[in-house]
Amino acid sequence: MKKMKSKTVALLIIIVLLAVNSGLLFSYYSFYLSDRMITDLTEAKNQNYNSLYAIAKTIDGKNLDDSIKVIKSYTKENGGYVTLKDSKKNVIYTNKKESDKLFSSTIIIYINDNEYELTYSRISMLPGMKLIRNFIVYEIILVSTSVIIAFFVSSKKLIDPIETITKDINDYKYGKRPYKRKMPKKMQRIQNTFVDMVDSLEIEKDYQNQIIASISHDIKTPLTSVIGYADRLKNKNLTEDKKIKYIDKIYNKAFLIKEILEEFDDYQSCNLKETLKFDNISIKELCNNIKKDFEEELNDKKIALKITSNCDDKVISVDVVKLRRVFSNIITNSVTHFKGKQGVINVVISYKRNFFKFEVADNGGGIANARDIKKIFEPLYTTDPSRKIPGLGLSICKQIVSAHDGRIYAENNDIGGLSIIFILPGSFNKI
């Protein structure tokens, strides 16, 4: 309320000052400047006519050549510019300069009974211009004074906050974090926005450091095994069987490192919406691809895969490669939770109100803690402490789904496990 009151008072003061200044301007022009301009104009005309009459009187009775000599002598002695024209407007003589500051007067004279036009000009400011110039100087002084006063008055509310924000920005470059301050409303909004941005950057920085540390930790374990088995291979007394065994171990550990790095690369690239390559694919073809990608592998692991759809005749526009990656990550995540039981994975695809709903349900036990269900899409989060690869799979799924303007979530299902559900918009036609 106090801020609003001060703004209102300041606005009223400005309006009053403008009104007073406008009144002074009007009064100055009406009661002084207009009369003075008329007086100056009359005086300027009289001066020119006096000069013209003096020249005309001097050349009275003289011939043309003598008249021109008189004109030259007069302008040399008294200044000014004279132009003499005959009755046909031909210039007989002139010393006139091209200038927009010449104020001229003209009379008709007779030389040897011939009619001539005599024009006298002098360099002068237009009548009243001196007063106008003085008035402009007065206004400049008035405005400058007002600006200086306004500057000192507003410095506490504008300049000082800007300097404070600038200082906080420079301090942050050297590691000193800013904090929220009380300032004028708009400056405070800028300061607080900057603080919130810094907080977000610091969280992201810590988060990236966490990812790097986790990746480093998970790479070190298989890498240590690779170094150990490679060192054993140097033993010349090794049997062929052991050599083959150690080489297989090295290969498997190296492949695990490759999986870790590939998953990390996928996480980095999948959040870039510009990398998506959209293609139209029918739901029927998509179901066939899922079946082809996973059925054989799941059968080997004694896991039943069932795919159903109520919209086989629809076409969806997606990045097919990345969508298959989503199914791969979700199904791989499900496989790790069966732990010897007879596994079931059901993929259900449905269509309603211009949206496709994809549900991948398993019977792997689900997640008891509701808080864990909300966190499973966070990078590196896992409910399985024995995992060797960081929990980036479902995070990648979230990135891909979000890049398609969709949403993804999880919930416990009726078959004793977890369902990962994602919904995508799409353009579709009957095929």
**Amino acid type, 279:** D
User: Rounded CA gap, 19 and 13, in Å?
Assistant: 10
**Residues 367 and 390 both lie in one domain:** yes
- Domain boundary residue, one of 102, 127, 152: 127
Tell me, yes or no, whether 163 lies in a domain. Answer: no
User: Rounded CA gap, 99 and 122, in Å?
Assistant: 10
**Residues 296 and 224 both lie in one domain:** no
Q: Are the CB atoms for 299 and 265 separated by under 8 Å?
A: no
What pLDDT score does 2 carry? 45
Q: Are the CB atoms for 368 and 256 separated by under 8 Å?
A: no
User: Rounded CA gap, 184 and 154, in Å?
Assistant: 11
**Amino acid type, 390:** P
**Residues 287 and 378 both lie in one domain:** yes
Q: Are the CB atoms for 375 and 250 separated by under 8 Å?
A: no
User: Rounded CA gap, 252 and 247, in Å?
Assistant: 9
User: Rounded CA gap, 147 and 28, in Å?
Assistant: 23
Tell me, yes or no, whether 431 lies in a domain. Answer: no
What pLDDT score does 1 carry? 44
Residue located via tokens 């999880």: 410
pTM higher than 0.85 for the full model? no
User: Rounded CA gap, 162 and 194, in Å?
Assistant: 12
User: Rounded CA gap, 281 and 286, in Å?
Assistant: 7
**Residues 280 and 254 both lie in one domain:** no
**Residues 290 and 403 both lie in one domain:** yes
User: Domain total for the chain?
Assistant: 3
What pLDDT score does 267 carry? 63
> For the range 168-171, what are the long-range contacts, defined as Cβ-Cβ under 8 Å and sequence gap of 24 or more?
168/194, 169/194
CA 273 to chain centre: 18
User: Rounded CA gap, 41 and 43, in Å?
Assistant: 5
**Residues 214 and 119 both lie in one domain:** no
Q: Are strands 279-282 and 102-111 parallel, antiparallel or unpaired?
A: unpaired
Tell me, yes or no, whether 193 lies in a domain. Answer: no
What pLDDT score does 395 carry? 82
User: Rounded CA gap, 133 and 40, in Å?
Assistant: 14
Residue 87 token pair: 């009755």
Q: Residue 85, class by beta-carbon neighbours within 10 Å (0-12 exposed, 13-18 middle, 19+ buried)? A: middle
Residue 289 token pair: 């691809």
CATH classification at residue 213: 1.10.287.130
Tell me, yes or no, whether 152 lies in a domain. Answer: no
Phi and psi at residue 318, to the nearest 5°: -145, 170
- Domain boundary residue, one of 100, 127, 154: 127
Each residue's pLDDT expressed in tens, for the chain with a length of 431 residues = 444 455 565 566 667 766 776 776 677 667 666 777 777 777 778 888 888 888 888 888 888 888 888 888 888 888 888 888 888 888 888 887 665 556 788 888 888 888 888 888 876 555 455 666 666 776 677 677 766 766 666 666 667 777 788 888 888 878 888 888 887 777 788 888 888 888 888 887 776 776 676 667 567 767 887 888 888 888 888 888 888 888 888 888 887 788 777 767 766 665 556 667 889 999 999 999 999 888 888 888 888 999 999 999 999 999 888 898 889 889 888 887 776 678 899 999 999 988 999 999 998 888 877 777 878 887 766 655 544 444 677 888 888 898 899 999 999 999 888 999 999 997 544 44
What pLDDT score does 362 carry? 92
User: Rounded CA gap, 428 and 411, in Å?
Assistant: 28
DSSP 29: I
**Amino acid type, 40:** D
Neighbours of 167 (CB within 10 A): 12
Phi and psi at residue 355, to the nearest 5°: -130, 145
Phi and psi at residue 182, to the nearest 5°: -90, 120
What pLDDT score does 282 carry? 93
DSSP 388: S
**Residues 228 and 247 both lie in one domain:** yes
Q: Are the CB atoms for 160 and 173 separated by under 8 Å?
A: no
Residue 326 token pair: 């989503």
Task: Give which of 314, 326, 240 is closest to 282, Cα–Cα.
Answer: 314
**Residues 240 and 287 both lie in one domain:** no
- The residue count for the chain: 431
Containing domain of residue 326, as a range?
Answer: 276-425
CA 36 to chain centre: 56
What pLDDT score does 114 carry? 86
Tell me, yes or no, whether 140 lies in a domain. Answer: no
User: What is the number of H-type helices and E-type strands within the chain?
Assistant: 11, 11
Task: Give which of 194, 191, 193, 195 is closest to 161, Cα–Cα.
Answer: 191
What pLDDT score does 429 carry? 44
Tell me, yes or no, whether 150 lies in a domain. Answer: no
CATH classification at residue 417: 3.30.565.10
